[in-house]
Amino acid sequence: MGSELERSFVQQLQENQNLIHKICRLYTDGEDAHKDLFQEITIQLWKAFPQFRGDSKFTTWAYRVGLNTAITLYRKKTKSINTIEFDGKLHKIDQDEYNYEEEEHIKLLYQAVQQLNDIEKALVFMYLEDKDYSEIAETLGISEVNARVKMNRIKGKLKTILNP
Amino acid sequence: MEELDLLKKDWKRNENKFPRVSEQEIYAMLHKNSTSVVKWIFLISIFEFAFFLALTLLLNDNTGTTKMESYLNDYTMIAITIIDYGIMVYFFCQFYINYKKITTTDKVKNLMSSILKTRKSVSNYIFVKISFIVILLIAMFILYFNNEPEMISTRHIAEEKGKVAMLYLVYFAAVTISVAVFAGMVWLFYRLIYGLLLKRLRKNYNELKKIDF
């Protein structure tokens, strides 16, 4: 059953699987949901693979399919968003002082990002992946200027979540 | 230091700390079923087309319709049938063309818009089909009122008692209510199915539109 194609796909995916894990990290908040989304992205990539011609890099192509799946196609099975939000609030209570450990700070940052909406997460994801604004704009289908404006707003929003 | 750059540092540091998924596991995943929204929309849409096709075939065969047919001439019946199947074929083609345009390698915004368009073509179909059924129903009731011997004799009795206006009122009120209930139920049913399915997609699409005003 197209085993040559299948083998080449599985191999490339295996090598580049971190990319999918990273998308899952931002869009899910538990081990089960992570695995679930990972599987759905894998299925969507496989379905789109025959159209992948190799004129772009496997990763660039996979970014698109992965983000499209996370934002548009994927259906969350359980909603556990509330617990995260609650957690975030709990942490905020004892953060009167501005000096906490870096690790703690990063944990809070992740929680803040989790509170963003799906589109904002996509922008953050691509920013973290060192994509430039033209690529972010191209992937999402918006203009570069607007991508830049939105990114600045997200930075502001994260600041407010962290320092209410 | 910028919050996000701090996060980026950590993001890069932990890049390789995810549990590895083996090739065997990936192979296994390829043969699992997708749970994507598009798949559900596709399945439900096919079901909708099938349902209305079945309804058309069933209605052709029931005694009520045969009775109605006797009031109409052959040409009218043929015209109705042609319109009925014409609507179906036209919308099915539209649905199929739109469905084919859905591709995960498209821009996020385009993908969303093609999914919503596909959905729109099916809901347009439902809307046209329901309107068609409602018009036929109303026509049927009017024909029944004017042609059915039982109805005519009831009307004569009412005329003798001077209560024709009352009869008209009751009859048409009953028709309106039953048609409204039928249409309302179908509408509610669709709101429920697609409301659930498309809620998140719509929300994200509006969010993107808001950015790119």
Residues A88, A157 within the same domain: yes
Domain end, chosen from A20, A51, A73, is at: A73
Residue of chain B whose alpha carbon sits nearest to that of A64: B105
Q: What is the domain-level CATH number for residue A35? A: 1.10.1740.10
- CB-based contact A17 B34, cutoff 8 Å: no
Answer whether residue B143 is part of any domain. yes
Residues A86, A107 within the same domain: yes
Domain end, chosen from A57, A73, A89, is at: A73
Residue pLDDT, tens place only, A38-57: 999 999 999 999 888 777 78
Q: What is the pLDDT, as a whole number, of residue B182?
A: 85
- CB-based contact B104 A73, cutoff 8 Å: yes
* Average pLDDT, integer, range A13-37: 91
CA of residue B118 relative to chain centroid, distance: 11
Range of the domain at B105: 37-211
Ramachandran assignment for A33, one of left (phi > 0), alpha (psi -120 to 50 degrees), beta (any other): alpha
| pTM of the predicted model as reported, rounded to 2 decimal places | 0.79
Q: What is the domain-level CATH number for residue A90? A: 1.10.10.10
**Residues composing chain A:** 164
Answer whether residue B130 is part of any domain. yes
Residues A22, A44 within the same domain: yes
For residue A101, give how far its alpha carbon lies from the nearest alpha carbon of chain B (Å). 13
Residues A85, A28 within the same domain: no
Answer whether residue B174 is part of any domain. yes
- CB-based contact A119 B6, cutoff 8 Å: no
Residues A132, A151 within the same domain: yes
* Average pLDDT, integer, range A54-71: 88
- CB-based contact B211 A146, cutoff 8 Å: yes
* Average pLDDT, integer, range B109-121: 90
* Average pLDDT, integer, range A140-145: 92
Q: Is B5 on the interface with A (CB under 8 A)?
A: no
Domain end, chosen from A42, A73, A104, is at: A73
How far is residue A72's CA from residue B111's CA, in Å, rounded to a whole number?
A: 8
Answer whether residue B26 is part of any domain. no
Interface A:B, Cβ pairs < 8 A: 156
Does residue A108 have a pLDDT over 60?
yes
Q: What is the pLDDT, as a whole number, of residue A129?
A: 92
Instruction: Report yes or no: B176 and B169 within 8 Å, Cβ to Cβ.
Output: no
Residue pLDDT, tens place only, B150-171: 888 888 888 888 888 888 888 8
* Average pLDDT, integer, range B42-47: 89
* Residues in Cβ contact with A88 at an 8 Å cutoff, skipping those fewer than 6 apart: A108, A111, A112, A114, A115, A161
* Average pLDDT, integer, range A85-89: 42
User: Mutation test of the interface with chain A: which of B1, B107, B213, choosing the one with the most A Cβ atoms within 10 A?
Assistant: B107
Range of the domain at A141: 81-162
* Average pLDDT, integer, range A144-158: 92
* Average pLDDT, integer, range A125-152: 92
Count of domains for chain A: 2
Does residue B65 have a pLDDT over 90?
no
Structure tokens at B54: 């079945």
Q: What is the pLDDT, as a whole number, of residue B93?
A: 92
Residues A56, A85 within the same domain: no
- CB-based contact B4 A127, cutoff 8 Å: yes
* Average pLDDT, integer, range A92-115: 70
Measure CB to CB from residue B6 to each of A69, A71, A106 and give the nearest one. A106
Q: Is B63 on the interface with A (CB under 8 A)?
A: no
Residue of chain A whose alpha carbon sits nearest to that of B20: A17
For residue B52, give how far its alpha carbon lies from the nearest alpha carbon of chain A (Å). 27
Does residue A99 have a pLDDT over 70?
no
Contacts of A163 in chain B (CB under 8 A): none
* Average pLDDT, integer, range A107-135: 91
Q: Is B23 on the interface with A (CB under 8 A)?
A: yes
Residues A66, A90 within the same domain: no
Average pLDDT of every residue of chain B = 85
Give Cα separations from B157 to B25, B108, B147, B154 (angstroms): 80, 68, 16, 5
Predicted ipTM of the assembly: 0.77
Q: DSSP characters for B150-174?
A: HHHHHHHHHHHHT-HHHHHHHHHHH
Residue pLDDT, tens place only, B25-34: 999 998 888 8
pLDDT interval class at B177 (50, 70, 90): very high
Q: What is the pLDDT, as a whole number, of residue A86?
A: 42
Q: Is B106 on the interface with A (CB under 8 A)?
A: yes
Q: What is the pLDDT, as a whole number, of residue B63?
A: 67
Q: What is the pLDDT, as a whole number, of residue B79?
A: 87
Count of domains for chain B: 1
pLDDT interval class at A79 (50, 70, 90): low
